[in-house]
Amino acid sequence: MPEQLASLARLAFDYRWSWYPGGKELFSRIDPERWRLTAENPVRLLQETSAAALARAASDAELLSWARALEETFRADSERPYAGPHDPHRPVAFFCAEYGIHQSLPIYSGGLGGLAGDLLKEASDQALPLVAVGLLYRQGYFRQRLEASGRQQESWIDVDPERLPAALVRQPDGRALTITVPIRGSEVTVQVWRVAVGRIPLFLLDADRPENGHLERWITSRLYVGDPATRLSQYALLGVGGVRALAALGIDPGLVHLNEGHAAFAALELARLDVERGQGLEQALQSARSRTVFTTHTPVAAGNETYPGEEIVKTLKGTIAELGVDPDVILRIGRDQPDKTSQPFGVTQFSLRMSRAANAVSERHGEVAREMWQGLWPGRGIGEVPIGHVTNGVHPASWVGRPMHDLLSRHLGSDWWRTAADAEAWAAVDRISDAELWAVRCEQRAQLVEFVKQRSGMDRLAERQPRAAVEAAVRAFDPDVLTIGFARRNATYKRIGLLIENPERMLALLSGAQRIQLVLAGKAHPSDEEAKRVVERLFAFKDAPGVAERVVYLHEYDLGMAQHLVRGCDVWLNLPRPPFEASGTSGMKVVFNGGLNLSVLDGWWAEAYDGSNGWALPGDVEADSEAQDERDATMLCELLEREVVPAFYERDAQGLPQVWLARVRASLRTLAPQFSTQRMLADYAASVYGD
């Protein structure tokens, strides 16, 4: 690389470029097409772009000045003093199986990873002393392709960490820093990669080392691999190996935050270290509890994994031996009823019992979790179960579109995204004119329409659909039409199938005089056959009149696509079966872009909806799921027909939808300060991380 581009090379390894204003535009200016082809990976961009493009960049005085200014901004941000309740020398250690930092780092699958990535970015913005631990999956999560029938096909692509914004942690002599972790009778050698999420170091453990056998190297191959033995090995590597990696790095965390049960065994390793220092087992277990907090993210059974006790013992044999205890002592902690040896071991149960504090991720989820786990505290009423809640939030700067960002900067101040939890500041949205607000919404919708046209055509070619369907994709979507989005990780409880529960009414909405258009996306886990069949049932309607031009199902839903969708959609649908939506965050991202939510009163929406800031379906729990689906599908169509569609198309003399924009303002004013990561992390610092 030309020496003049040294600042760009340094910036490429600090993910602050992904959310600071101007960061993405800076790299895109070097080679816009290569930037797109590399999934906005600045390291690959600088490695792969042509010498001519690099030479042009090296002679672009404006670009070089821009890069130096951004690097100076990052340097000043890094020099701010730490804030929060913890000593910077003993930071919070955040453990999670997946992180959605950016699409260029493919180690995430869905909402859990998105939440974790947003939390790290906010911790950087708030200068909270925090480090993060995860796994570097050499094949990441699966790639999705749909057939013409809607049948999902999966594939995996190798990830080369040398081409990621990540650095291998090395010892002073230049060799890779490694640790060993006993897993299923083998000593697994692990190396560590460091990803800079602004001020926050994310350490990713990687078992793809020549010292390991094929099975051991496979441990960090794929996210959420289906094989139970491999998945348990991943959890041992994340938990036990994560604590050991921090020790090798000279980091002694003051607090360990287990973000879901995948990292449960970190608490066990904390106890083992204290036993190694001479403490008795009970004292060591209690000491580990005093340093551990736990967040549960789902009431769905599949998300609260259980395993036969013998599999736990096989996986953790070495660690249990170093503890010097009967394995049943450990297994008891993870059983619903400790004395019942026939019961399986649950990672959530173990995490709850090994934590000093536990929280759900919304107010309603807290109620559900206390009822769900009451049996772990015999003799206590549901209200006495020690599980609180911290409602999720999203990192505004990562999700807001540039037009909306500029609008908010003009009216709330250029640093509005740093003070997003200030409710008084959001009162300024009432002073934004209808014309300004509508112009921004129209611009972001138009950007989404262009994205949809490009992607849907390629997707239909991949599906091998007839020529007419591919041509319809080119004509698909109109920038002036009400655009409704539904894009989630596909699971049956999320109920995308409600869209075809009442097909005649939905088709009538699509072909009505006041048109709507639907953009859909989402992946089903490779093992979730039922969720895959729901998408196939959707595809059965693809040849119905108007569907090809007004409905698209986009392949390969990822963070990059999510940004386009949450920025451009006018209405975001969320249709979970209550009470299985722990929180949800995609609808929160829509809020910051001036979109509106139509959601079931479950998860975050149960505490967000006030009647003026969106629309709602009932959140009642019903035993008859078929009757519930029929009722909710009918109510969904009625809301669209009677309220949503008319409000969007009712215009004043200037062509502005005043009723619609009043609801947009109410959404921004009431929801933006309440559902940002700034508020969320402040809640963690005050009620979970504090003593």
**pLDDT at residue 148, as a whole number:** 82
CB-CB neighbours of 498 under 10 Å: 25
Do 92-392+684-688 and 396-413+433-675 show the same overall fold?
yes
What mean pLDDT value characterizes the chain? 94
Instruction: Indicate the pLDDT class of residue 477, thresholds 50, 70 and 90.
Output: confident
Q: Where are the domains of the chain?
A: 3-78, 92-392+684-688, 396-413+433-675
The predicted-structure confidence for 381-405, as pLDDT tens digits, reads as follows: 999 999 999 999 999 999 999 999 9
Q: Is the pLDDT of residue 263 over 70?
A: yes
Q: Is the pLDDT of residue 258 over 80?
A: yes
In 3-state terms, the chain is what percent helix, strand and coil (to 5)? Answer: 50, 15, 35
Cβ neighbours of residue 150 closer than 8 Å, sequence gap 6 or more: 535, 536, 537, 538, 539, 540, 542, 553
Give the number of C-alpha atoms closer than 13 A to the C-alpha of residue 27, restricted to the C-beta side. Answer: 34
Give the number of C-alpha atoms closer than 13 A to the C-alpha of residue 449, restricted to the C-beta side. Answer: 20
The predicted-structure confidence for 27-62, as pLDDT tens digits, reads as follows: 999 999 999 999 999 999 999 999 999 999 999 999
Element of type H or E holding 164: none
Sheet containing 516-521: give its strands across: 551-554, 516-521, 482-487, 571-574, 596-600, 614-617
User: What's the pTM?
Assistant: 0.95
Instruction: Tell me the mean pLDDT in the region 177-187.
Output: 96
Q: Is 90 exposed, middle or buried (0-12, 13-18, 19+ CB in 10 A)?
A: middle
Instruction: Tell me the mean pLDDT in the region 216-241.
Output: 94
**pLDDT at residue 691, as a whole number:** 66
**pLDDT at residue 667, as a whole number:** 98
The predicted-structure confidence for 134-174, as pLDDT tens digits, reads as follows: 999 999 888 888 888 888 888 888 989 999 999 999 999 99
Check residues 241 and 536 and name the one with the higher pLDDT. Answer: 241
**pLDDT at residue 489, as a whole number:** 83
**pLDDT at residue 342, as a whole number:** 94
The predicted-structure confidence for 596-636, as pLDDT tens digits, reads as follows: 999 999 999 999 999 999 999 999 999 999 999 999 999 99
- Counting residues of the chain whose pLDDT is more than 70, the rounded percentage is 100
Fold of 396-413+433-675: Rossmann fold (3.40.50)
Nearest to 669 by CA among 567, 602, 592: 592
**pLDDT at residue 547, as a whole number:** 82
Fold of 92-392+684-688: Rossmann fold (3.40.50)
**pLDDT at residue 155, as a whole number:** 85
The predicted-structure confidence for 408-443, as pLDDT tens digits, reads as follows: 999 999 999 999 999 999 999 999 999 999 999 999
Cα–Cα distance measured from residue 490 to residue 524, given in angstroms and rounded to the nearest whole number:
4
Element of type H or E holding 18: none
Cα–Cα distance measured from residue 439 to residue 564, given in angstroms and rounded to the nearest whole number:
17
Q: Is the pLDDT of residue 470 over 80?
A: no
- 265, 351 in Cβ contact below 8 A? no
Give the number of C-alpha atoms closer than 13 A to the C-alpha of residue 656, restricted to the C-beta side. Answer: 14
Instruction: Tell me the mean pLDDT in the region 275-293.
Output: 95
- Counting residues of the chain whose pLDDT is more than 90, the rounded percentage is 82
Instruction: Tell me the mean pLDDT in the region 510-531.
Output: 90
Cα–Cα distance measured from residue 452 to residue 477, given in angstroms and rounded to the nearest whole number:
8
Q: Is the pLDDT of residue 205 over 80?
A: yes
Find the angle CA(205)-CA(206)-CA(212) to the nearest 5 degrees: 130
The predicted-structure confidence for 304-325, as pLDDT tens digits, reads as follows: 999 999 999 999 999 999 998 9
**pLDDT at residue 208, as a whole number:** 96
